[in-house]
Chains A and B, each alone.
Chain A
Amino acid sequence: MVVETLETLLIWTPYLLGGFGWNLLIALTAGLIGLIVGSLLATLRQSGFKPVATSSLGLSRVIHNLPTFALIFYTAAMLPGEIALPGTSLILPVPPWFKAALALSAMQIGYTAENLAIALGAWRKGDQVRALLFIPGWLNGFLITLIASSNASVVGVDELVSRCDTLINASGHTTLMIPLYLYASVIFIAFCLPMTIAMRHLKKAMLHRHGQLSTGHTTALS
């Protein structure tokens, strides 16, 4: 019974990992959208024209405070399946995974908008290390987005959790359910744990150098 279950898991591992590939793609896309839109908002915030600066701050807070799970439904229901590029005959498809990535980018937009301005300020003052601390923070956000990307399954994206459900339904009996869900969490941990450890070392090394560079200055970090 146990051997049989392990065998089933092994057979379906490539299929499940393929699903996890979608999770990675969604989280990466969300991170990139977050970088682009977040930097735009951070730049606007530095604007000398006060209304622009205030509205970009307000907008980034509003985006940051929205629950991403609800946003996933929002983008899935509200955005069209394809967009005709104006002036051309090109029709750009907007696949469901991209809509989910757009929804998940809310958190990364918030992070980038809040922290990029601080990082840029530090850079200008010559405090490069402190500016570069933006990177581990972004990576941490990437991991949180990756974990949240499983929520895309509720709008039919064919990622890891969806594929687990497909396998459970296809097998016709529910005994596979507990092993499969546990296996899926093992896949998430197997990816996120080494990343977290590597990030912690990176941060420590950066802070160590930082300690040598600036004197007696404590930084904001968790």
Chain B
Amino acid sequence: MPLILRGLSCLTPRLPLLPFLLLWPLLFTALPTPAAETGSVLAAIRETGILRIGVKADFPPFGMVNALGEPEGFEIDLARDVARRLGVTPRFVKVSTENRLHKLEQGAVDLVVATTADTAERRKIATAIEPAYYAGGVTLMVGPGQQRLTDWGALRGKRVCATQGAYFNRPMSERYLLDLEVYRDTRDALLGLRDGRCVGYLYTNSAIDGFLAKEEWAGYQAPLPLALVAPWAMMIGRGEKGSEFERLLGDIVADWHRTGFLIEREQAWGIRPAQYLRDTGALWQARDEQGDYLCQRGPDGNWPLGCREATLITAGDVGGLHNLGLKFKEWTGVDLSFLYDPFDRARFLRGLGVTILMMLSCVLASLLMGLLWALVADSRWRWLGMGARALGVHARMTPPLLQMYLLFFGVGGLLFARLGVSLYPMAIAVWCMSYYTAGSIMNSLYEVANHQRQIQTGFRLTFHSLGMAVLLARGPILGSLINVMKQTVMASAIAVPELLSVSLAIMADKGNVTVMMNVLLLTYLLLISLAIAGLSRVQAWLDRRVANL
């Protein structure tokens, strides 16, 4: 019997991958890490005449985009005033909660004015400008059914929507044992809340005040007391600590408190008056008997202790292994927090487990769906077959990401609004990726059947002949299965807590971008190599079966 075979050479790794894995750190840590020289940013700004400021676009009325697509809001006004005082042109760069501090480290922006709470953890990866210009706490936005909630403790073990990279995610989930479902941005998290995926949305009160004022969220409330109040500071690069840039910015914020500029802008944007601005304003306006400001820089350039933030929020306690990890970090600069920090370790392991589970589910579901689909596509009933093949075109030519958004946000929203049913994110991700892959598997089987028909007239895919078709199409099928395992990463886009998602969360908290990114790719490489080793055994077994045909 003439056989059309396509051996997948990538399925049979004849050489050990280990040496390349060991070479990895050399390859990728050698990439340019654009840490600028200490204190060089101000000179560069003056030279180019441009101040690049990272601002938010999804945080009305602090940072948002107007109808013309231009940034505006409370923080945009502050940023413009900084540029005006420095005599340079502002250039706005849209940043997210998750990436704003990387952008600084990367050198993509000079200054971040993006609702960044000043915490002890963040001071390790960026320089916070003192004094702060605002303060916010965390609250929970809940739907019409949850208004009787009065106590954070009642949320133990409950599923709560959150945004990637927020400082309070970790302390709140540790303190109240919340089960966080972490979304990429505010829009997605709000849709999650609307579609009943969680009891509430954990976010800064300033943003939630803004949402609740909108008609869209009528009936929603924030009944819980404010927790973890933290000052919001402008942020500049880690290397800018003690620079003239830091000092200039600090003086500007101090002047804002003294002149009442911040309260004036707060009113202009219709923000609910924050007690923080009143208290801090009074502190910075206070003068001593000689008529000098109480809050003045000392000979060392620092503000007096009474004018600085007394306590910053810290996350986690330090134990034995933790201490060792921190020592290693001080010594080498490599922050392996996913090993030594119990919280990071737990979430990393959970991400690994979710990824492996998704890989296995996707392989099984794709295979099953693909085989059944092929039977229908090659069925006796012509129209049914054509319909199945047309659906296959849709499956193979629509990006899986688009399919996930459509089902998760589009159909998921409708289902909840009409029937009160909410879909499980992981199930949606597995379904969409298996649909895409099954489309390819069906196509490979159908092509084999077509080819077989040229040799054997009247050949058709049936339960009986399917086995042989699978043998003939084994190369492309195994290739598709490897692809679907790689694609599971995409599930992070709809809040499935898999490896990429947890790595981004750890990076946002710890700032160890290089370490986590390399660990992530290495872990995937190991998983995929293991899968290929397993599947190449399957292929060898199938090859023997074909040889015996």
Binding site for B on A (CB under 8 A): 54-55, 57-59, 61-62, 64-71, 73-74, 77-81, 83, 110, 114, 143, 147-148, 150-151, 153-154, 156, 161, 165, 169, 172-174, 177-178, 181-182, 184-185, 188-189, 192-193, 196, 218, 220-222
Contact = CB atoms under 8 A, between A and B. Distances in A.
Contacts of A71: 521
A150 B216 contact: no
Contact of A148 (B6, B20, B399, B499): B399
Interface in B1-35: 2-7, 9-10, 13, 15, 17, 19-20, 28, 31-32, 34
A54 B15 contact: yes
B399 A68 contact: no
Contacts of A181: 402, 405-406, 410
The B interface is mostly helix, strand or loop, or mixed, namely: helix
A134 to B, nearest CB: 15
A220 B15 CA distance: 23
B15 A57 contact: yes
13 contacts: A57-B15, A59-B20, A62-B525, A70-B489, A81-B106, A143-B397, A173-B216, A174-B409, A177-B410, A178-B410, A220-B6, A221-B4, A221-B6
A156 B56 CA distance: 13
A78 B103 CA distance: 10
Contact of B184 (A59, A79, A154, A174): A154
A161 B94 contact: no
A161 B500 contact: no
Contacts of A178: 406, 410-411, 414
A172 B7 CA distance: 51
Residue among B184, B399, B473 with max Cβ neighbours from chain A (10 Å): B399
Nearest to B513: A77
A196 B447 CA distance: 14
Contacts of B414: 178
B210 interface: no
A61 B410 CA distance: 38
A205 to B, nearest CB: 17
Interface string B515-536: 0010011001100110010000
Contacts of B399: 147-148, 150-151, 161, 185, 188
A120 to B, nearest CB: 15
Contacts of A73: 500, 504, 517
Contact of B493 (A62, A80, A154, A193): A154
Contacts of B476: 222
B517 to A, nearest CB: 5
Given A65-B528, A154-B184, A80 B106 contact: yes
B413 A114 contact: no
B517 A81 contact: no
B94 A156 contact: yes
Interface in B238-276: none
Interface of B: 2-7, 9-10, 13, 15, 17, 19-20, 28, 31-32, 34, 94, 99, 102, 106-108, 184, 187, 191, 216, 393-394, 397-399, 401-403, 405-406, 409-411, 413-414, 444, 447, 473, 475-476, 486-490, 492-493, 499-500, 504, 507, 513-514, 517, 520-521, 524-525, 528-529, 532
Contact of A67 (B411, B447, B486): B486
Contacts, number: 155
Nearest to B2: A218
B317 to A, nearest CB: 29
Nearest to B473: A222
A185 B394 contact: yes
A152 B251 CA distance: 40
A189 B488 CA distance: 23
Nearest to B531: A65
A218 B397 CA distance: 29
Given A59-B20, A68-B486, A185-B403, 16 more contacts: A61-B15, A66-B525, A73-B504, A77-B99, A143-B397, A147-B397, A148-B399, A154-B493, A178-B410, A188-B398, A188-B399, A189-B397, A222-B4, A222-B6, A222-B444, A222-B473
Nearest to B215: A172
Contacts of B520: 70, 74
B15 A174 contact: no
Contacts of A222: 4, 6, 444, 447, 473, 475-476
Contacts of B94: 156
A74 B15 contact: no
Nearest to B187: A169
B394 A74 contact: no
Contacts of B7: 220
B466 to A, nearest CB: 18
A190 B99 CA distance: 35
A5 to B, nearest CB: 13
B32 A80 contact: yes
B295 to A, nearest CB: 37
Contacts of B525: 62, 65-66
A123 B387 CA distance: 41
A70 B521 contact: yes
A42 B20 CA distance: 18
Contact of B398 (A61, A189, A218): A189
A69 B394 contact: no
A136 B20 CA distance: 31
B187 to A, nearest CB: 6
Contacts of B473: 222
A188 B4 contact: no
A6 to B, nearest CB: 17
A169 B216 CA distance: 13
Given A80-B34, A178-B406, A69 B500 contact: yes
